[in-house]
Structure 1
């Protein structure tokens, strides 16, 4: 973080100093995980689902933290912020482990501090990325391309909420040129709040699907929420740019909601950055001609992506548009796309087991669009020869939404693209039943009780040349199958942290 003393921090976030005169300076990182605290850090004490960060204040200071950002007094130097009044409506989301508003209070303080730090780097271009699917992959790819142009900070993993976003902003250094933020939303107003913390100059909207449909009720409501990003952009005269997917009608319609300059991406002739002459190689890796028609640059070039799946083209187009707007040449973009190694864990990560089986690990999240894309990739990678196509599918159920309609559709899709469909868990039974009804000659579907049973089945029946897709929500934990089948030196990780953000009304205080 940009160095600040505790007096400056308390002036920004409010509250009071505790056990300090305010003169010590924070010159290290800001951390909410006490295990990652180092010399000069500021430790953020948050209530988690399994423990409360306030209990680790002394440990954090012993490891080098200058002070603790807290909602309660602790036995160390601290900036103590006032609790959020639980009787009053709050725009700040609460943590799932928050019982008294302390989590909301510390999150609000983090947001204020992040905004202040960002204002100290006025030449930093902030890029916000949202969409129902593809946010993390696209955010990583944008960061990869922009790093070639100058110092770039990119939010790690899926740090896209009211905790992860300010934490990322607080990584800024005085020479940072680009800040790339993944932005998630679970309701109207959430994304607008994130944009208020770190106002973007460039906003990217990839698509509107059915991820988190249970929180919204309809895709139109999702589009309303996602469009808050383009509404937050500055005018075109001030450098605002909205990068929109022209091939998604709900996203393209967001052009009317912004005064920023609109850059369309897609496959059609109306797109300013588009893909033509598309092909897939034997490993389902896309090759296409990138055609650019922007006010500052135009031209075309052939590119081969190292990632798997035709849907990756849209991520590449969006990332290319951002890089071109920030000064990259077409050659810069082509070189960066060809050398992309930013595939996040459990998102179309392709591995080869020691037994000659190809494993497509796409087990981090699930939506109708991503299921279709993953199954198409499975079919493309197993095209020809005697390779059997295995689709292992887990539940997509989420609070407030019955997934029966989606489960039925996914079962029919799986029967269309796979030879063996293995459905995991009673919650996903309807996927199995739909696949069994739709299965043609040579296609078989079965329901197993859990991930362990699926792993045993695969170990018994897989043979060299088979291609296996793992697809399900994080709750389904199909990534554990990848861990079991892959060599010990290529493990996956499951959850990002102990902190899940929920809407206030879902959190008893």
Structure 2
């Protein structure tokens, strides 16, 4: 974090400052801000956030011992560390992030990019950060730091020398993106797609549309909305951008997009295409698995070129990316048995894309195996969407379907009902049972997709299979 006085921080948070030791109102702090006492170090600021299973106030002593010089708390803690007492620690975190970004922006050339979408946020964030880091100091979220805690923590990592802040915005409910994006008002807002992910929490796809469009509403006047020209719902956000007013930069596979891809070819080693932007073209060899990641790459290129990066530079930097993120289309195992661990998140759209990729990258004499778990947060749509994925897996010709967990049982039943098979689709209640089956069933030439929502825990099964067949 940038250097701020204790007085200024307390004033920003509207909290009561309790000084300890030699600290004064003018004492400056500039360390890392975090809610996890295990990563706090000398000079850092610890935010004691109450949680569902524990209370951050219990870890103020550990944070002080680790070297923290300031604790932001909701009630005083009997510990010799300077504290700022606030009504709501999470709200205070947001207030501090807003102030820090505003001060850096006022002093320098900081540009803020916000990214949202039902799928692809983290991959696009990582691709864009890779492009921008060669242009100047770039701050981007670790993992999927995109909620009311993670997004402000990322914002608080900016320094006086930061040139780009890339923020990923998830939506826990209506108004969530508006609140987070409103802390920084992005110069560029990227909307990837509007799909069924989390539809249960928004009352359907139209609710998801309204939630994702909040990022375009939050644009700074004169900013740029980077929108998916191939998604009809995202395309409907263009008038929102005009009202800011902001310009629109389209990405997609169609000829009308400002940044588009042609001649897309998918293999087990990655995806190749030709990218066109602003009258220029360049071949792109993306090592991240999956045709669907072409759209994420196009979104990153569209944002980067809007910030002045050349197409040639953007493409060259993307080609150095070997893995977008752990547990996202992550190749494991060996050439003998290839495991693709994509079990960090799952929605109907991402599940469908991953199954298509499995079918595309499997060659003659190789067998497709899909290890599938539940897709969460679909609410009333869960049954029909699991049915649809089961049907799609059969129609894509996936040769072995392994379904895990009671929440995914309808996927298994749909697959069995669609195919006239004898054992090609199997069901297990637990990942351990599936592991025992798969270690005996998988054979040379198998290409195995492991896909589920985070809550199903199949990412750990994917890791175990990858190690077993390495």
CA distance, structure 2, for counterparts of residue 16 and residue 474 of structure 1: 39
Post-superposition offset of 1:336: 0.9
SS at match of 2:308: coil
Structure 2 portions without partners, runs of 5+: none
Q: 2 CA distance for matches of 1:393 and 1:194?
A: 33
**Residue in structure 2 matching 1:411, options 381, 390, 399:** 390
Q: What is aligned with 1:5?
A: 5
Secondary structure of the residue aligned to 1:148 is coil
Q: CA deviation digits over 1:216-273, x for unaligned, max 9?
A: 111111111101111111233xxx0000000000001100111211000001111000
Say yes or no: does 1:164 pair with 2:131.
no
Residue in structure 2 matched with residue 110 of structure 1 by the alignment: 93
Is residue 284–residue 380 contact of structure 1 (8 Å, CA) maintained in 2?
Answer: no
8 Å contact from structure 2 (residues 371, 404) kept in 1: yes
Summarize deviations over 1:166-200 as a string: whole Å, max 9, x none: 10011011010000000011222111111111210
Q: Closer, same or farther in 2 for the Cα pair 1:52/1:451, shift >3 Å?
A: same
Note the C-alpha offset of 1:446.
Answer: 1.1
Alpha-carbon shift at residue 43 of structure 1 (Å)? 0.5
Q: Contact conserved, 2:196 with 2:378, CA < 8 A, in 1?
A: no
Which of 114, 118, 124 pairs up with 1:138?
Answer: 124
Cα displacement string for residues 98-141 of structure 1 (whole angstroms, at most 9, x for unaligned residues): xxxxxxx1111111111111112122100000000000000010
Kindly state the Cα deviation for residue 342 of structure 1 after the two structures are TM-superposed: 4.5
Which residue number corresponds to residue 288 of structure 1?
273
Task: Please say if residues 400 and 425 of structure 2, whose CA atoms lie closer than 8 Å, have aligned partners that are also in contact.
Answer: yes
- Corresponding position: 1:371 with 2:351: yes
Q: Which residue of 2 aligns with 1:102?
A: none
Mean alpha-carbon deviation: is it higher for 15-24 or for 317-326? 15-24
Q: How many Å apart are 1:443 and its aligned residue?
A: 7.5
Contact kept, 8 Å, 1:70 with 1:78, in 2: the verdict is: no
**Does the CA-based 8 Å contact 1:6-1:79 persist in structure 2?**
no
* Whole-angstrom CA distance in 2 between matches of 1:50 and 1:187: 22
Among 322, 325, 328, the alignment partner of 2:309 is 328
- Look up the SS of the partner of 1:364 in the other structure: coil
Match of 1:225 among 211, 219, 235: 211
Query: Are residue 56 (structure 1) and residue 47 (structure 2) matched?
Result: no
Q: Distance in 1 between matches of 2:158 and 2:433?
A: 46
Q: Which residue in 2 is equivalent to 1:255?
A: 238
Moved more, 473-482 or 336-345: 336-345
Q: List per-residue Cα deviations over 1:449-474 (Å, max 9, x = no partner).
A: 11001111111111121111111111
| 8 Å Cα contact 2:145/2:151 also seen in 1 | yes
Match of 1:244 in 2: 227
How far, CA to CA, are the matches of 2:421 and 2:25 in structure 1? 74
Matched, 1:80 2:84: yes
Equivalent residues of 1:169, 1:179 under 8 A apart: yes
Aligned twin of 1:65 = 68
1:409-454 deviation per Cα after TM superposition (whole angstroms, max 9, x unaligned): 0111111231010111122111111001112568711111110011
Q: Which moved more, 1:423-432 or 1:202-211?
A: 423-432
1:15 and 1:82 in contact (8 A); partners too: yes
Distance 1:191 1:260, change over 3 A: same
SS of equivalent residue, structure 2 residue 182? helix
Task: Give me the TM-score of the superposition, normalised by structure 2.
Answer: 0.94
Output aligned runs, 1:394-473, within 5 Å: 394-398=373-377, 400-417=379-396, 418-440=398-420, 444-473=424-453
Give, in angstroms, the shift of residue 56 of structure 1: 1.1
SS at match of 2:380: coil
Aligned to 1:205, which of 191, 201, 223? 191
Q: Specify the SS of the correspondent of 1:220.
A: helix
Partner of 2:463: 483
Q: Secondary structure at the match of 1:460?
A: helix
Residue of structure 2 equivalent to 1:95: none
- Is 1:26 matched up with 2:6? no
Measured after TM superposition, the shift of residue 28 of structure 1 is 1.4
1:453 is paired with a residue whose SS is helix
TM-score by length of 1: 0.87
Identify the structure with bigger relative contact order (alpha carbons < 8 Å, sequence gap 6+): 1
Query: Aligned equivalents of 2:259 and 2:198: distance in 1?
Result: 29
Number of residue-to-residue matches in the alignment:
459
CA deviation after TM superposition for structure 1 residue 400, in Å: 4.2
Question: What SS does structure 1 have at the residue aligned with 2:346?
Answer: coil
1:286 positional shift: 1.7
Q: C-alpha offsets along residues 306-362 of structure 1, whole Å, 9 cap, x if unaligned?
A: 111110110000000111111111210110121113511111111124x82101111
User: Which residue is 1:269 aligned to?
Assistant: 255
